[in-house]
């Protein structure tokens, strides 16, 4: 998107379209000016995601997007009733190795 306002307008349009079809749609607006993390390229980005799921710090921006998206999805799917509980569960899943095991399935 060219600017923040355009991104917000598109997000609202997508959410409204979902609502018109009785769907719970969420939108996250993130910067696409630079890559998340430190890797570029599909294989490298997957390897970086595996590092993150292994509990290794990759980068703050990647961490923020992962945690934000994960907690949103868990609340949206009604696994948790609030984002705070969902975030604790996401962090526990990563720290315990459960997230990486699930990824490898």
pLDDT digits 0-9 by tens, 1-30: 888 999 999 999 999 999 999 999 999 998
Give the tens place of pLDDT for each residue, 32-66: 777 788 888 889 999 999 999 998 988 999 999 99
pLDDT for residue 38: 86
Do 29 and 7 form a contact (C-beta atoms < 8 A)? yes
| pTM of this structure | 0.80
pLDDT band at 31 (very low <50, low <70, confident <90, very high): confident
């Amino acid at each position: 998107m060219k600017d923040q306002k355009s991104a917000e307008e598109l997000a609202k349009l997508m959410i409204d379209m979902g609502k018109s079809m009785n769907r719970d749609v969420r939108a996250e607006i993130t910067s696409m000016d630079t890559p998340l993390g430190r890797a570029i390229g599909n294989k490298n980005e997957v390897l970086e995601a595996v590092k993150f799921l292994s509990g290794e710090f990759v980068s703050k921006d990647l961490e923020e997007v992962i945690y934000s998206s994960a907690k949103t999805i868990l609340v949206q799917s009604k696994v948790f009733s609030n984002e705070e509980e969902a975030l604790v569960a996401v962090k526990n899943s990563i720290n315990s190795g459960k997230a990486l095991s699930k990824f490898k399935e």
